[in-house]
A and B are shown apart, each in its own frame.
Chain A
Amino acid sequence: MPIKRKRGGAVHHLNFGVMTILGLLFFSHIPALAHKVYIYAWLEGDTVYTESYFGAKKKVKQGLIHVFDLSGQRLLEGRTNEKGEFSFKPPLLTDLRIVVEAGMGHRGEFVLKAEKSSVHLGLETIQDVTGEGNRISSDPVSTDEMQIRMIVEQALDARLKPVIRELVEIRKEKGPGFIEIIGGIGYILGFMGLILYFKSRDKAGRQ
């Protein structure tokens, strides 16, 4: 019996030690994350902007960007700059799958839906690519009207820029929050309970 008590005590002390480490790790945890790479893309005017990052402050520098359509055909590729940014003019108005490869097995992707982005595109582009709205494009549009339309577009773009930027910041994935972390620990305790239950039944069955 004394041996048994010793084992229990040892395990208790080990748990205490590990709990301390766990607590230290938990409270020292910084929101900047390491090993998931995020990419976010949005459209401004006729240009798609992308931003690739590991965490709040860590950007993907010189990461390889591939742009595909949803059928998997590669449209273009490029590299991010020092701020993790890469922008391009999409050759087609279609859903885009934008993939970033940051090396060492890090890969992230983002799908930019055409119907969302087309809101910001000039009317001409939509008509040209989708073939819809032939009625408008076949109508003789006066140069004045075209110019007014372009000026309005530009003014709107300039006005909406900060709003779009703010939306981008809000919609970016931020990494795990407090709830996910606590939830994960809860799951582990749940698994522990399950395994204890099954092992104790084995034990009881053997006795």
Chain B
Amino acid sequence: MHISEGLLSAPVLIAGAAMAVSGTAIGYRKLNYERIPQVAVLSAAFFIATLVHVPIGPSNVHLILNGLMGLLLGWVAFPAILVGLLLQVVLFQYGGLTSLGVNTVVMALPAVACFYMFRAGVRNEKTAICLFSAFLCGFISVLLGSVLVALALVFTGEAFLAAAKVIVIAHVPIMIIEGIISAACIRFLKKVKPEILEVIYAD
């Protein structure tokens, strides 16, 4: 899901960078002093998650964890993902510095969207509803991310529907895996410290 350098046209890169800056500014303003270590730990998890390669299907897919980040961080997912991606560019040469903005939006925007879509479901007292919401959150965040990649690539000449189809199909295994991971994490948090989610959503 990391778009390489030299593929996207200038308007797409500039629009992506502008959106990433706005999202990061909103996230930074919402960042509480007490939650900074938690954001850093999730950012580190994101940084490493992309190294986990899932050998399913013909394509190369990897964990993204953006759904989980959205669920636990809300708008703060923007700066957390930006930092993770920046380090991936600098240290691993994944993506590129010019496409950093677009890549941040591709992963962080679905995270924020999923935060608003599923926070009510995750707080639900019924475990089944809560876990299903968390699963959907992981699933849909990757789905939205894939659609955004296809959208960014449209301007490079790839036909949107064809590109979107290929990218979405390639990411289906990872959508399911991310869904399961998100549900497992939420279950763990509910068991260990149920009020934690209340603290997160109280902001």
State the A residues within 8 Å of B (CB): 6-11, 13-19, 21-22, 25-26, 28-30, 32-37, 54-55, 58, 61, 101, 103-109, 175-176, 180-181, 183-185, 187-189, 191-192, 195-196, 199-200, 203
- B33 near A176 (CB under 8 angstroms)? no
- A13 near B4 (CB under 8 angstroms)? no
User: In the bound complex, what is the Cα–Cα distance between A97 and B153 (angstroms)?
Assistant: 23
Given contacts A8-B34, A34-B62, A192-B37, 18 further A-B contacts (CB under 8 A): A7-B199, A9-B193, A14-B196, A22-B48, A25-B63, A34-B54, A35-B95, A36-B93, A104-B149, A105-B149, A109-B6, A175-B92, A176-B92, A180-B91, A184-B87, A184-B91, A188-B87, A191-B40
Main secondary structure on chain B at its contact with chain A?
A: helix
- Residues of chain A within 8 A (CB-CB) of B51 are 25, 29-30, 33, 176, 181
How distant is A68 from chain B, measured CB to nearest CB, in Å?
Answer: 12
Q: Mark each residue of chain B from 46 to 79: 1 if its CB lies under 8 Å from any CB of chain A, else 0.
A: 0111111111001111110000000010000000
- Residues of chain B within 8 A (CB-CB) of A185 are 44, 47-48
User: In the bound complex, what is the Cα–Cα distance between A25 and B43 (angstroms)?
Assistant: 13
Main secondary structure on chain A at its contact with chain B?
A: helix
User: In the bound complex, what is the Cα–Cα distance between A19 and B3 (angstroms)?
Assistant: 28
Q: Is B129 an interface residue (CB 8 A)?
A: no
- B52 near A28 (CB under 8 angstroms)? yes
How distant is A95 from chain B, measured CB to nearest CB, in Å?
Answer: 18
How distant is B52 from chain A, measured CB to nearest CB, in Å?
Answer: 6
- A195 near B31 (CB under 8 angstroms)? yes
How many A-B contacts if CB must be within 8 Å? 162
- Residues of chain B within 8 A (CB-CB) of A33 are 51, 53, 60, 62
Of listed A19, A28, A34, A109, residue having the most chain B CB within 10 A: A34
Known A-B contacts A17-B192, A34-B62, A105-B152; A192 and B53 likewise in contact (beta carbons under 8 Å) = no
Partner of B48, one of A25, A107, A109: A25
**B194 and chain A: residue at smallest CB distance:** A10
- B60 near A35 (CB under 8 angstroms)? yes
- A21 near B45 (CB under 8 angstroms)? yes
Closest 7 CB pairs of A and B: A34-B62, A105-B3, A192-B40, A107-B4, A13-B193, A10-B196, A34-B60
How distant is B39 from chain A, measured CB to nearest CB, in Å?
Answer: 8
Partner of A105, one of B4, B47, B91: B4
